[in-house]
Structure 1
Amino acid sequence: MPQANPFASRSTPVPKVGVGLRHPHYREALTGDWNLDFIEVHTENFFAEGGLTRVFLEDIRSKFSVSFHGTAMGLGSAVGISTKYLQRLKALVDEYQPLFVSDHLCFAWGDIKGNQSHAGDLLPLPFNEETLSVLIDNVRRVQDMLGRQLLVENIVSYINLDNNTISEAEFITALVERAECGLLVDLNNILVNARNRKERDPIRFARNWLRNIPANAVVELHLAGYTPPVDGGLIIDDHSQPINDECWSLYKDAMELNQTAATLIEWDNDLPAWHTLVAEADKARLYQRTEPKRIEAST
């Protein structure tokens, strides 16, 4: 389990900052001298044995620490996680020993006519005891197989489920306590959910969300931006824009609660120049050095 460290002192070592690496930036990432502590890659892109992708991964690992971020594990799937998937994941983790291994709080696998099939998306879970039990069993299985802690990330949900019996924060807290996993908190996802659900004060909602999860379990933070919707429509979590002011503000709050959590800049669509992405990581470092204002309790 991560060490208990909420409200750590300013003597705490400066936390790591990295970026998500996508194909158009491969060459620049390898040829420059960049102020980055780690690189995140999508795990499933490197499942194939041998070939150019593995050559690239070797090159990246020779220059940076690497983090594996999965998008297909489906940790909340009632049918379980594909054994073949987990075997590939274990082989990759054993060979490259990444800084972090993470995936999402969602389901993805289902049974179709007796075949274990993948939905190809991050599908939301109802927050209740039945789903929690499934999730805990799957997370424990993954951690036992890998022999290391898994980080679980909160997701954007575009629908409101009717069978929730507890809050998302209570659900996540129970998961951490019973599965002994870590958390990857995506700050943009909290804000997108708050705005899509028409919360009166999205920032206050997001701050309270942070206060109600176990801060000492937060190992990593994700920062991202989204395309503003037309005429107040649904926000799509497209990771296609710079991080907005709301998310930077929430980042300061998150760092106050846990000053050792690593930070990852995500940008997946409409990719900017590589130096622009690195500049976002540099901006995160500036926010880390700015004395944060302690979060006030809601009234």
Structure 2
Amino acid sequence: MSIVWSDSSLVDRPSRGMPVERWGGISLKPEHYREIIENRPAVAFFEVHAENYMSAGGPPHRYLTAIREHYAISVHGVGLSLGGHLPLDRAHLDRLKTLVDRYEPAMFSEHLAWSTHPRGFLNDLLPLPYTHDTLRRMCEHIDAVQSHLGRNILLENPATYIRFDESTFEETDFINEIVGRTGCGILLDINNIVVSCANHERDPFDYVSRINAGAVGEFHLAGHQRENEGTLEEVLIDTHDRRVGSSVWALYEAALSLVGVRPTLIEWDASVPSLDVLVGEAAHADVIARGILAAMGSSQRPGAGHG
């Protein structure tokens, strides 16, 4: 089932007072609430994790409401378990719809992952084998979410550390097939591509070239950690606890050339720095985007391309 994109996009509902040539956003952290309200930093939007704002009221909602007056908001879910074997949690979906209706976010996104188990909820985003069975389940769950919310969602590609022998799809083909069947969009996490491709000895630039460019509605950028460097056990870990690395910036620039400029989030969820550091990372994303647009001789606006 395909649902027409909500009109609450960054194109139709730009950040109030923000210049249109700004695309970089940052994660909204409680330690920055007051500074954001007082100083109104130069970013395009803020992202919040849905599960942190599912209560009826309290200080988080008070601050988010004040920030929403001046900025676009992106809501990022981590608890739907779209790839899980269990049915979707109806109560969770209801809380999510209440949140989305309340703040009218420019974007809502979730993960290509699972986290539910018959005995409870696992506090992690776990990988899936890419098979026809998991494809069917993912599509059924995405259809249900989109019907419940009355809008399309963006699906984020995962950071992975293992590959399943039973997989019959490449990850890009799997994601593209989901997009074709459900009408959802793609949240293209550039850091996750760098991490996964390094861990599986794949070419990250080839990965980007294979994704459905017209379905990409947002980019994520983040930092990662390299462990056991120079050994057979070397692995990249998606940590979200440091500045965006040079390999991620390089792939982001290539992705912009292939996909076009889109809203771009700087993810930083651990060892959170001062607000000016996050704003600086978002500003660097803007610089790269403006450079790409200048090179292309384009006046492309953020969020264009998926309809």
* TM-score (ref. length: structure 1): 0.88
Per-residue deviation at 1:23? 2.0
Structure 2 residue corresponding to 1:197, chosen from 195, 200, 207: 200
Per-residue deviation at 1:30? 1.6
Per-residue deviation at 1:108? 1.4
Q: Secondary structure at the match of 2:42?
A: coil
Structure 1 residue corresponding to 2:176, chosen from 173, 186, 190: 173
Instruction: Output the CA distance in 1 between the equivalents of 2:98 and 2:283.
Output: 33
* Partner residue, 2:60: 53
Per-residue deviation at 1:15? 6.3
Instruction: Output the CA distance in 1 between the equivalents of 2:144 and 2:23.
Output: 28
* Partner residue, 1:82: 89
Superposed CA deviations along residues 16-41 of structure 1, whole A, max 9, x for unmatched, are 22111122222222211321111001
Contact 1:124/1:155 (<8 A) preserved: yes
Alignment: residue pair count: 276
Superposed CA deviations along residues 129-182 of structure 1, whole A, max 9, x for unmatched, are 110000000000000000001011011112221210110011001000001001
Q: Secondary structure at the match of 1:228?
A: strand
Contact 1:219/1:260 (<8 A) preserved: no
Higher alpha-carbon deviation: 117-126 or 232-241:
232-241
* Partner residue, 1:286: 287
* Partner residue, 2:221: 223
* Partner residue, 1:8: none
Superposed CA deviations along residues 241-270 of structure 1, whole A, max 9, x for unmatched, are 111111111111111122242111111111
Per-residue deviation at 1:285? 0.9
* Partner residue, 1:238: 239
Q: Matches of residues 35-50 of structure 1 in structure 2 within 5 Å?
A: 35-50=42-57
Q: Secondary structure at the match of 1:235?
A: strand
Contact 1:182/1:218 (<8 A) preserved: yes
* Partner residue, 2:267: 266
Q: Percent identity?
A: 36
Contact 1:140/1:179 (<8 A) preserved: yes
Per-residue deviation at 1:56? 1.5
Letter in 1 for 2:219: L
CA 1:180–1:252 in 2, change beyond 3 Å: closer, same or farther? same
Instruction: Output the CA distance in 2 between the equivalents of 1:248 and 1:16.
Output: 15
Instruction: Output the CA distance in 1 between the equivalents of 2:292 and 2:178.
Output: 31
* TM-score (ref. length: structure 2): 0.85
* Partner residue, 1:20: 27
Q: Secondary structure at the match of 1:19?
A: strand
Structure 1 residue corresponding to 2:165, chosen from 162, 186, 194: 162
Superposed structure 1 runs of 4+ greater than 4 Å apart: none
Instruction: Output the CA distance in 2 between the equivalents of 1:109 and 1:15.
Output: 37
Contact 1:80/1:109 (<8 A) preserved: no
> CA-atom RMSD, angstroms?
1.8
Instruction: Output the CA distance in 2 between the equivalents of 1:51 and 1:170.
Output: 43
Instruction: Output the CA distance in 1 between the equivalents of 2:288 and 2:281.
Output: 11
Contact 2:84/2:115 (<8 A) preserved: yes
Letter in 1 for 2:151: R
Q: Matches of residues 74-223 of structure 1 in structure 2 within 5 Å?
A: 74-112=81-119, 117-199=120-202, 205-223=203-221
Per-residue deviation at 1:111? 1.9
Instruction: Output the CA distance in 2 between the equivalents of 1:129 and 1:44.
Output: 30
CA 1:54–1:229 in 2, change beyond 3 Å: closer, same or farther? same
* Partner residue, 1:255: 256
Q: Secondary structure at the match of 1:192?
A: helix
Contact 1:14/1:260 (<8 A) preserved: no
* Partner residue, 1:297: none
* Partner residue, 2:300: none
Superposed CA deviations along residues 90-129 of structure 1, whole A, max 9, x for unmatched, are 01111111111111000112223xxxx3211101011111
CA 1:33–1:56 in 2, change beyond 3 Å: closer, same or farther? closer
Letter in 2 for 1:57: L
Per-residue deviation at 1:52? 1.4
Per-residue deviation at 1:60? 1.5
Is 2:93 the partner of 1:73?
A: no
Higher alpha-carbon deviation: 70-79 or 213-222:
70-79
Contact 1:127/1:165 (<8 A) preserved: yes
* Partner residue, 2:305: none
